[in-house]
A and B are shown apart, each in its own frame.
Chain A
Amino acid sequence: MDDDKPWALKGVRLIDLTWVQAGPQATRLLASFGAQIIRVECPVPAGMDVVRQVPPYAPNHATPDGGRSQGAAPSSGVPGNFNRSALFNNTNAGKFGITLNLNHPKGRNLLKRLVAKADALCENYSPRQMEKWNLGYDELRKINPQIIYLAMTGMGKAGAYGDFVSYGPTAQALSGLTHMSGLPDKALPAGWGYSYLDHSPGYFGAFLLLSAIRRQRQSGVGCYIDLSQAETGLVLSGTALLEYQLSGRPTTRYGNRMPYLNWAPHGAYRCKGDDDWIAIAIQSDYQWRVFSEEIGSPEWTRDPKFATAAGRKANEDDLDRHLTSYTTGRERFDLMTRLQHRGIAAGVVQKAPDRVDRDPQLKARSFFVDLPSSEIGTWPVDGFPAKLSRSPANVGGPTGRAAPKLGEDNGLIYGSILGLTAGEIAHLREEGVI
């Protein structure tokens, strides 16, 4: 336990009843600032975080004293071993881990004892689960009147859809974010290739928790936060709602183009390689002239219809066709470097290997952080994207490691916080409570 660092959240304890991605994302950020995050997990597979039980897994050859140095390999997991999930290892870095069966009356009693000694609780179970256990905010507030309680659900617990269930993609579809993403001439949207609304709500959850913790530290007041992933999607829908109210026109898709500024070309263009692309955004007539010069002023760039921003915008299909004929067959990183040296916004459409193994910026700023885990060894995890001069974020948190093994800290947490003896802890394990 690393108590010597200048942590912003020194002394803050949060009971973490989250699972999958949105909730764990919020508490991970607080661990990065030194909060003691106690991840509470069901000890039996049926109630365990599903992320522990689905791919991607660390390769089967990964050992506690090894890790990435042993190499990557496809894996379908080790049956009965719930400590090898690659996503879980990343999303739960810096947290303590205990097991607790909340279907057992003694389990619920233990949770209440932990809440009594905590500052905050975060959960993202299905909407009424905590109330079914008689562990909702009203109940827990009786035990700890200052508690901050963050509930994260797809729709939000209050409101007409308070009982509805959701994953990230459900909230994305409902909010409009899925509809907005894609090409205008396709019948279907492209949508999102992952659960964006499992990420941003996590960041919002952290922001609201940090604001609430500050107030709690100053005035001893707790609060209840009912966070909705779908509502977050509305906030992230840009100017679409305002545009609709003023124009009455339904929201449409426009691919990678820029409908709100006279920027053209503006898109992704095929390069040499297997599905390799570069994004280019020309923002002025000056940039267009520089760009044309850099690519050798081929005849099409001298066509008067492309001379002005308005002209390029009006002839964007034609422009994109010509530009693609130039970029196809050219090496994407070389082209990005050349254009950037001329002051043009150009960026390779980077895939994971580009970001992990090549991106010199991420390397120079030590973005990926190697963290040990007690089961699969040392692997890089996402770092924290902001550097603080006095109280640096550290994604290893107070534990200095990646995610905990299932129940890894039972002895430490039940012993140090609740004062249970080794014998009592062993007995609870035998009873199926932890």
Chain B
Amino acid sequence: MTPTHHIDPLIPQAALRPPDEVMRLDRMGAFFPTRLSFMRTLIRRLSEEKAVVSRPVWEINDAGYGHAVYSLSLSGRIYSLVAFSTALPEDKRTDRVIAEAWDSSYVLFDGIPSNEDITRLQQNTPKQEAGRFKPQDLILSRANKSVRLFEHVVECLAAGKQPDQSLLLSIGYLMRTTAVYGNGKFGIADRSRISDRPGLQGPFQAEMLSVWLTRGFTFDLVEHVARSRSPETFVGLDRDSKRFLGIGNATGLGMAPFLVSHPTLINNWMLVRETALARVRAIPTAEATVVQAIRQLMDRATQHIKQWNVADTVQMAKIEQLRTEFATVVELMTDDWLAAPNPWDRLIKDVSSLSIECQELVVALVLEPHGSLIDGLTDCMASDEIPRLAPAMPLEKLKAILLENYGWALKVDLSLREETRLFWYVSEEKLEPRLGERYEEAGAEIEMPFDICRQVQDLLKDLENLPASTSVAELLLQHPQYRQIVRRIQCTEKYPYSEIRDNLIAGNCLPINMLRCKLSFFGASKFDPKSDRWTRINMYQGAPLFDEVQEKDADDWWLPVSGWTS
């Protein structure tokens, strides 16, 4: 099947990389942020609109506790971050989702909050899941301090010094979020409230806005506490240091099922990314300005991966291989090599023998200087469409789609215990997705339906015994249990990138790959896996500050490097 969506006859386009290549967990787990990522899209829009952030409320005491409100206008509407900073006993401090108290908590509010709104939010926001919210509350989140860095920065600024750059580099954020909730959770607004609003139509734009405003709050807070501690000697945090600090995040399994349960959305993300690459690959010659830009970007990428160090031995080995391989890519791209026809297509082909991590870094690299060609595609990344069943479809057609798009699932030998070793479930204590060991733990009988391979193989067996001309409606009359898998299979006909093409219950399934894929679309970098099931990341590292977003180069922050400013 040849995916044909997003083809604009006026824009030349190479062939898309097929879903069998792209939708594999090992490749998805090697994605890097690109200029199509959601944080980049938001910052571009804020920059185009010359957005101005105001701080109408600052009720924070000398110790750094209280509340603040930040407001800005985005595409004609005002949104406000209401931030609460609270004292947190050390024995209550944990990044786990099971935590019940945090250093700070936030609501992105639709409009300007009244005093009554702030009072209501003050009573509920610090409680997070235990609070109750209203449809004016768009996003709910919380963050804990990096105690080491926050206190170090306070001490330094109070003493009139800048913080230790090596500590900034190794941590990279003053606070890290442990959850950012949207779409109706705990009574906040459903996505449908904002899905048609300019500025928030794209995926996760409200969440990204909330996190960017939160980042600004962390700078104000750390400076406020330092100034209060020693007003005479206080100095502000220098601009370069602020620019390098993002917002940390600990992300676990809760994020992984999203990619399975939103097939049309994940298709659109992937399809846009692949279409952008196909457009770039079709460029016949590299313009001088682009060559100059790509050389600067290669320098930056080299520095970025040099500064990317993690404790995880598997990921660190990949990073070291990436450093070596990317150096060969840089060497390869001489002036003569770049001057020859179809440079970007040749580049993608030439790196295909290197590690997937290097291949995907090069994909992100070649997209970066081609904004005018590809940025418009980001308008196609949202989807609120629910996959619909096609009951009239003859079974011969259903079978053909299955054989075309699920060959990967049919190859799995389900008689091997290793291929069914894991099961996904919802935990009783926090209602969060978890992974269990099927042959060692209880609960597999009520697993989440992520056993796609097994469902596909069972369905195919029954399809073999039914007349080809029979309709899907007749099949479901006899076998209603196939309703979901039939819908998924039919969905792949129109949305070829809607299914992860790997066995999600195999013993060797690494959920960390799903997390990195989704987080790369957010625009996160510095992936720091802490196990095969959760990772730390950094969001908005290198992004413009509140007073920089209006500047011309506000979009130039792909792969941030310590000590670098655009």
Is chain B found bound to chain A in the same assembly? Answer: no
